[in-house]
Amino acid sequence: MVKKIRVLVAKPGLDGHDRGAKIVARALRDAGMEVVYTGLHQTAEQIVNTAMQEDVDVVGLSLLSGAHMTLFVDVAVLLKEKQMDDVLLIGGGIIPQEDVPRLKKAGIAEVFGPGTPVEEIVRYIKKNVKR
């Protein structure tokens, strides 16, 4: 039996910048994970539905527009609603430090800001993946 970590990298909302998401996606691939990338402009419903069909272990959200307090939280709420709490939810992008505690309270396990070495994200996922 060979278990591979499957990750969904998703861009919620209207922000059109996905270089960061693509770099992270590549780094996770190079760390031996299977990474599904959805492309831009996803709604929270689309992200959660995709996570369900792809049966991923991790959902990574990337957002640079400032709408994280709404969109990240929407995804967390929907995952809970669909009893997908065993999916590790993480986020990254331009997120002010003062928002991080509230995001964590809402169910986002960890937030990675600009300048985070990709190895740190890989390590975090490998250590914290729930299933």
Partner 1 sequence: MTDLAEKIIAGDHRSIARLITQVENNAPDAVETMKQIHPHTGQASIIGVTGVMGGGKSSLIFELALAYRTEGKKVGIIAIDPTSPFSGGALLGDRIRMTELSMDEGVFIRSMGTRGMMGGLTSSLYDVVEILDAAGMNVILIETVGVGQDEVDIVKIADTTLVVLVPGLGDSVQTIKAGLMEIADIFVVNKADKTGVEQTVAELESMLDLVNNQERRIPIVATSAKEKKGIQQLVVQIAEHQAYLKKSQTFEKRRRQRYEAELIEIIRKRLMDFIFDEKKLKTTVDCCIDQISKKELDPYSAADQILGKILK
Give the interface segment with partner 1, choosing from 21-29, 69-77, 85-93, 102-110 (CB under 8 A). Answer: 21-29
| Choice from 16, 21, 23, 29 touching partner 1 (CB under 8 A) | 29
Three-class SS of 55-100: CCCEEEEEECCCCHHHHHHHHHHHHHHCCCCCCEEEEEECCCHHHH
Question: Please, which residue, 4 or 127, has the CB nearer to partner 1?
Answer: 4
DSSP annotation of 50 reads H
Beta bridge partner(s), residue 9: 37, 60
**45 makes contact with partner 1 (CB under 8 A):** yes
**52 makes contact with partner 1 (CB under 8 A):** yes
Residue 11: exposure state from Cβ atoms within 10 A (0-12, 13-18, ≥19): buried
| Choice from 14, 16, 23, 32 touching partner 1 (CB under 8 A) | 32
**34 makes contact with partner 1 (CB under 8 A):** yes
Residues that bind partner 1 (CB under 8 A): 1-4, 6, 25-26, 28-39, 41-43, 45-46, 49-50, 52-55
